[in-house]
Amino acid sequence: MSTSTTKPSDLVTLLEQALTRWENEGGAYTSGALRNSHDEDGHYKAPPLTNAELVQLQVRIIALENLVISLLADSSDAQRVLAREMAAYISPRPGFTSHRLTTHAALQMTHMLERAGLFRGVADWAVKR
């Protein structure tokens, strides 16, 4: 692109588009889709996810869960105790409102710790092979 034929207002527009791409992982949304991404109250309104984006998120979550399980399987007792304490910490406490997603997250954390327990010793076996 030649800057000698580009107007200053065009440069500002190009800069805004480049910055928008930085904020959404390199341009996941094209043609300035994030430009008007706030409602009249100033709250951020995310564009709806496409089916392909939802599938990609599911794949990433599965990969992360399995990675965490493998790391927990080879972690120290203190680290596993800390993870259990965190799961208990985010669980609803007496006198506070129970939130379904938080409760489910705590159960998932505990479940991942239990799954990691199934692989304790397997990590040593795999390394020795």
User: What gap in Å lies between CA 126 and CA 113, rounded to an integer?
Assistant: 20
Predicted local distance difference test score (pLDDT) of residue 115: 95
Q: Point out which residues pair with 44 in neighbouring strands.
A: 38
Do 123 and 74 contact (CB within 8 A), yes or no? yes
Predicted local distance difference test score (pLDDT) of residue 10: 79
Q: What is the pTM of this model?
A: 0.57
Condensed to tens digits (0 to 9), the pLDDT of residues 27-54 reads 455 555 555 566 777 778 888 889 999 9
Tens-digit pLDDT profile for the chain (129 aa)?
445 566 777 777 877 777 776 555 554 555 555 555 667 777 788 888 899 999 999 999 999 999 999 999 999 999 999 999 999 988 887 888 888 999 999 999 999 999 999 988 765 555 555
Amino acid letter, residue 58 = Q
Amino acid letter, residue 102 = T
User: What gap in Å lies between CA 129 and CA 125, rounded to an integer?
Assistant: 6
Question: And the tokens for 90?
Answer: 């985010």
Distance from the Cα of residue 65 to its chain's centroid: 11
Where do the domains of the chain lie?
1-47, 51-128
